[in-house]
Amino acid sequence: MKRIIFSMLMASAAAFAIDVNSVPDSVYKSGMLLPARGDLIYQRKCSSCHGADGMQTSFKGSAKGIIYSPIAGWSVDKLYNELLSYKSGRADKDYTPVNKTGYGAVMKSKNATRDLSTVEIRSIAEYINGLK
Closest CA to 126 of 24, 65, 54, 48: 54
The pLDDT confidence band at residue 132, using thresholds 50, 70 and 90, is confident
**Domain of 95: which CATH number?**
1.10.760.10
Question: Between these two residues, 121 and 97, which has the higher pLDDT value?
Answer: 121
Q: Which of 46-50, 101-105, 119-123 has the largest mean confidence?
A: 119-123
DSSP state of 64: S
Q: Name which of 111, 102, 115, 108 is nearest 85 in CA terms.
A: 108
Top mean-pLDDT range of 47-61, 80-94, 97-111: 47-61
In contact, 59 and 66? CB cutoff 8 Å: yes
Q: Note whether residue 109 is domain-resident.
A: yes
Range of the domain at 75: 36-129
Pinpoint the alpha helices (H) of 2-110: 2-16, 38-45, 47-50, 76-88, 104-108
Please give the pLDDT value at position 97. 47
Q: Total structural domains in the chain?
A: 1
Residue 58 contacts residue 68 (beta carbons within 8 Å): yes
In a 10 Å sphere around its CB, with 0-12 CB exposed, 13-18 middle and 19+ buried, how is residue 121 labelled? buried
What is the CB neighbour count within 10 angstroms for residue 74?
A: 18
Out of 54-58, 64-68, 112-116, 117-121, pick the least confident: 64-68
The yes-or-no verdict on residue 126 having pLDDT over 80 is yes
pLDDT-based confidence at residue 77 (cuts at 50, 70, 90): very high
Taking only the tens place, the pLDDT of each residue in 26-72 is 555 565 556 788 999 999 888 888 899 999 887 766 656 667 788 99
Q: Where are the beta strands (DSSP E) in the chain?
A: none
Domain-located, residue 12: no
Quick one: average pLDDT of 103-118? 77
Q: Spell out the residues 6+ positions from residue 69 whose beta carbon is closer than 8 angstroms to its own.
A: 57, 101
- The verdict on residue 17 lying in a domain is no
Amino acid in the structure at residue 118: T
Answer whether residue 95 is part of any domain.
yes
The SS3 assignment for 103 reads: coil
